[in-house]
A and B are shown apart, each in its own frame.
Chain A
């Protein structure tokens, strides 16, 4: 088993009286596609934003390659693509991709490949603010894929996509991971997560309920999984959360 790239240890974050994350601990291994599974309001976005440094956390520790995560290490190693944003809405997608590659130090040569893989060619001249939800999601994903950071956190990469697009984007993410990048995806649609991810972190009400591969999770001793010979991720999730 490879050494964890990132270790999150008892991370806690509260918004006033509401505890969004309570002693969250997990690990991310280099080269894997890790899925963060949880219902709406589970704390997935909060966890990602704390990891990315765009939201301060109250307690806990994040280790990167065994050392406490510093601001410099974070900005050079981790990139976070939020959900539901429309950055630079009056700029064209073409320019936004060039900007993302240039500003974050990515490779401009990778732009055509990413555009082709995510079928963004016809949208290159469109302003980002005019894109539909699904188009914008693919555009954001393209921006994320163009960044050079070894770890990409992606919040709800399949949200707003139709079935065909979901499968294509899932395949693109798998290809990207196969090229050596580590992906940590927050997904609330469990079948999509099961199709794309190597391992899973189950998050509910700000707490980690379980972490592991599908087999490891299935071995957890619960009533629901005992009744099923090959439990699905959905069954496991319902049993464990």
Chain B
């Protein structure tokens, strides 16, 4: 019966066996437990202390969102693993066939390269899910402490990390497929990762178009999902980039095709993906899955803002590194863009820090104008309430009366019991035992 499988299932079995025999994956598994554990334990301890544990003064209830207090830091460890460990697993799976000569044999099976790269991606996806098991254990531990879990926001975090892992797998696969040696592929992959960090840094300093580009780096994508925000443009762009990476990997695997033909195909695909990515940046739908609606205005405010159909033009005289600009962007403008159809924000500053612009009479001014011929209004205050009041004033509408659906928070003054034993003891022991068992069984 075993030998009657189709070639794709044989390929899946082969990839899975190769993964199980890969030390890189076992290292990823072994490390992910303590890595996620230390983040979870630290987050829960801080959460407990702020909730009044150990005689400390209890904080403000509204501040206690497990999404920000526990899940974001816990899953951030997964982001580290995805950036620094997962690429090596992916490179091992993709480049191993070329290194051993197995690719020359397997290419003689009339199976499409789509299926070949598909098998590798499926197995690598499963490998990543297995390596994320400690995060699932963290959720169970949190529940056992009596902690609140809001499934939609947790799902958003998980999806964000899956997309991030997908991007890493696609990038590493493409690098492994295009380069002659796994070490070169590793350098290429890590260089791209570091390159995205540099883009984030430049965006923080320069703003402008860099800020827009930085919004689609893996770090920014994960950060948004960790805040429970799911943007259609971000999801589609991530999927397009994953598809591009895997397609280039598939093209690179086809060693029987002339290098210039493969290069041409890759360039055409890259151009196509760039066009798709550019088109996606104009998509505005987004969904706030956070329980405390941290990415949205109050529902009553949103209802009023949605009725304002004129374009809103904002000119903020604030430098890129000015904390007020960061506040405005994250707490006000990003929410405005989600509810108003046309919001155009323009920052005006002569320097990046703004330190020496403070003396300028206009520095710090934020001008708002509704419609093409609307009367502009200036406001230096950067709070949500003040900005909304200005916009309501320009639109000539009454500010809504807030109803009572206010997020009350979920304080939990419980220490991270049993977590250290689970993440630092049981998990590594189970992984080591599993590795020994598998290696003995395969030999």
Contact = CB atoms under 8 A, between A and B. Distances in A.
Interface string A72-99: 1011101111101111111110010011
Contact of A105 (B7, B13, B101, B102): B7
A57 to B, nearest CB: 9
Interface stretch (A1-9, A48-56, A165-173, A228-236): A48-56
Contact of B101 (A53, A71, A86): A86
Contacts of B109: 75, 103-104
A80 B108 contact: yes
A89 B102 CA distance: 9
Contact of A103 (B11, B21, B101, B255): B11
Secondary structure call for the B interface? helix
Nearest to A50: B256
B5 A53 contact: no
Interface in B98-135: 100-102, 104-110
Contacts of B11: 103
B67 to A, nearest CB: 42
B255 A55 contact: yes
Contact of A54 (B5, B7, B13, B104): B104
The 3 closest A-B pairs by CB, nearest first: A85-B101, A87-B102, A90-B21
Given A102-B3, A102-B10, A103-B10, A75 B108 contact: yes
5 contacts: A56-B258, A78-B108, A92-B443, A102-B4, A103-B11
Interface string B145-188: 00000000000000000000000000000000000000000000
Nearest to B101: A85
B102 to A, nearest CB: 4
Nearest to B22: A90
B394 to A, nearest CB: 65
A85 B105 CA distance: 10
A88 B3 contact: no
Contact of B108 (A79, A92, A95): A79
Q: Which range holds the interface residue count of chain B?
A: 20 to 34
B101 A82 contact: yes
Contact of B257 (A56, A88, A92): A56
Contacts of A74: 108
Contact of B10 (A56, A91, A99): A99
Interface of B: 2-5, 7, 10-11, 13-14, 17-18, 21-22, 97, 100-102, 104-110, 255-258, 261, 442-443
Contacts of A79: 108
A90 B25 CA distance: 14
A103 B110 contact: no
Given A90-B17, A100-B105, 17 more contacts: A52-B256, A53-B107, A53-B108, A54-B256, A55-B256, A56-B258, A71-B110, A80-B104, A85-B105, A88-B102, A90-B18, A90-B21, A91-B442, A95-B17, A102-B4, A104-B109, A127-B442
A72 B106 CA distance: 14
Q: Which range holds the interface residue count of chain A?
A: 35 or more
A143 interface: yes
A3 to B, nearest CB: 24
B3 A98 contact: yes
Secondary structure call for the A interface? mixed
Given A102-B3, A143-B105, A92 B442 contact: yes
B257 A76 contact: no
A98 B13 CA distance: 12
A180 interface: no
Nearest to B23: A90
A149 B110 CA distance: 12
A216 B351 CA distance: 86
A101 interface: yes
B101 A84 contact: yes
Contacts of A71: 110
B256 A53 contact: yes
Interface in A22-71: 49, 52-56, 71
A108 interface: yes
Nearest to B256: A53
Contacts of A101: 3
A56 B102 contact: no
Contact of A88 (B4, B100, B110): B100
Contacts of B18: 88, 90-91
A78 B102 CA distance: 17
Contacts of A55: 255-256
Contacts of B102: 85, 87-88
Nearest to B262: A56
Contacts of A121: none
Nearest to A82: B104
Contact of B100 (A81, A86, A104): A86
A113 interface: no
A82 B97 CA distance: 14
A101 B2 CA distance: 11
B75 to A, nearest CB: 32
A191 interface: no
A103 B111 CA distance: 10
A112 interface: no
Which of B10, B105, B106, B443 has the most chain A CB atoms inside 10 A of its CB? Answer: B105
Contacts of A100: 105
A54 B109 CA distance: 12
Contacts of A127: 442-443
B24 to A, nearest CB: 12
Contacts of B22: 90
A59 to B, nearest CB: 12
Contacts of B258: 56
B256 A56 contact: yes
Contacts of B10: 99, 102-103
B14 A54 contact: no
